């Protein structure tokens, strides 16, 4: 079921039966290494988090990315695919490629520089031939814009998707993702002007709690409704913490939330204590060079279910 208002979502949520034996976190992950010497100017048209005036050190970004891959292996197996200088945003693969059990989903990207990523044959072949996954290709046809788990934050433990509408995802794209991921319930809402992806504003922490940046939502009732679905186990972020990417985090195991060092440094002692009380340790990686490209740790990680 797809809902578009807080009241409609909460009414549907109240009737949703428990989802038994659902996996709350991924079994593995894959990354795509940085390869370009600069940032994607086309993407900067609607990604205000990009630091286009800052110098970009490609070698330093590559080292940080390799450290990220190695560090995340503490929780899950991690595969890294090579990058391509022609696709500078490819180090954020979760917007283009995502999985559900037995399925590879390919997104429909807004910008041509990212549409080229969707045509990679090696990633498709890996999931088709090595993993025996069915391919669901949203990049072809006219089913709207759907930038996968950039626009869509999924509570896998309950089969619920939270989808922010912007230039990077429209309602048709949301409906296509609802079907592709096999979600039981989706809540669609408008992002605030200037926001581009939901995963900068929100994290589902293994379905047990959430991180929310309320100023990123067009309607203040939306984050309140989401908080109610998580029984108010919510880490509320300030605008400054949002810009430090404290919402762009991920749980790859039930007991740890991964975020960049910059994001972790922005948290207060009270917020750290709240995460601990909900059963989450904090894992960090230095990603300041990669963050110049307008995304952080969550954006770098494509989950394999």
- What is the per-residue burial (b if ≥16 Cβ within 10 Å, else e) of 11-37? ebbeeeeeeeeeebbbebbbbbbbbbe
pTM equals 0.94
Is the distance from CB of 68 to CB of 300 less than 8 angstroms?
Answer: yes
Asked whether the beta carbons of 146 and 169 are under 8 A apart, the reply is yes
Residues 115-140 have a mean pLDDT of 95
Is a pLDDT exceeding 70 seen at residue 213?
A: yes
User: What average pLDDT does the chain have?
Assistant: 94
Provide the number of structural domains found in the chain.
1
| Residue 303 pLDDT > 80 | yes
Q: Tens digits of per-residue pLDDT, 91-102?
A: 999 999 999 999
- Averaged pLDDT for residues 133-141: 93
* Range of the structural domain that residue 59 is part of: 2-304
Residue 36: is its pLDDT beyond 90?
A: no
Extended beta strands in the chain, E state: 2-3, 28-32, 78-81, 97-100, 103-106, 134-137, 152-155, 160-165, 185-190, 202-205, 209-212, 234-236, 250-253, 256-260, 281-285, 302-304
Give the confidence band of 114 by pLDDT, cuts at 50, 70, 90. Answer: confident
Whether residue 139 has pLDDT greater than 90: yes
CATH number at residue 241: 3.75.10.10
Q: What pLDDT, in 10s, does the model give residues 119-129? A: 999 999 999 99
């Amino acid at each position: 079921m797809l809902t578009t208002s807080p009241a409609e979502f909460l009414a549907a949520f109240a009737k949703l039966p428990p989802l038994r034996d659902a996996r709350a976190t991924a079994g593995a992950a894959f990354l795509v290494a940085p390869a370009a010497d600069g940032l994607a100017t086309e993407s900067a048209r609607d990604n205000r988090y990009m630091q286009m005036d800052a110098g970009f050190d490609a070698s330093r970004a590559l080292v940080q990315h390799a450290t990220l891959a190695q560090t995340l292996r503490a929780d899950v197996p991690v595969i890294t695919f090579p990058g391509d200088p022609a696709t500078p945003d490819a180090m954020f693969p979760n917007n283009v490629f995502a999985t559900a059990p037995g399925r590879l989903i390919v997104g429909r990207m807004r910008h041509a520089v990212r549409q080229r990523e969707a045509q990679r044959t090696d990633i498709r072949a890996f999931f088709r031939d090595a993993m025996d996954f069915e391919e669901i290709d949203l990049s072809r046809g006219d089913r709207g814009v759907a930038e996968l788990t950039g626009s869509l934050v999924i509570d896998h433990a309950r089969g619920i998707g939270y989808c922010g509408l912007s230039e990077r995802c429209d309602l048709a794209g949301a409906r296509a993702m609802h079907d592709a991921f096999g979600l039981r319930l989706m809540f669609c809402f408008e992002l605030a002007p200037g926001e581009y992806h939901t995963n900068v504003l929100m994290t589902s922490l293994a379905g047990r709690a959430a991180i929310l940046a309320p100023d990123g939502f067009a309607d203040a009732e939306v984050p309140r409704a989401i908080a109610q679905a998580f029984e108010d186990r919510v880490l509320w972020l300030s605008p400054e913490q949002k810009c430090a990417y404290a919402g762009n985090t991920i749980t790859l195991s039930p007991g740890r939330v991964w975020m960049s060092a910059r994001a972790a440094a922005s948290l207060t002692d009270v917020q750290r204590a709240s995460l601990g009380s909900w059963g989450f340790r904090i894992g960090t990686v230095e990603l300041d060079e990669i963050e110049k490209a307008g995304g952080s740790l969550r954006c770098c990680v494509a989950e394999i279910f």
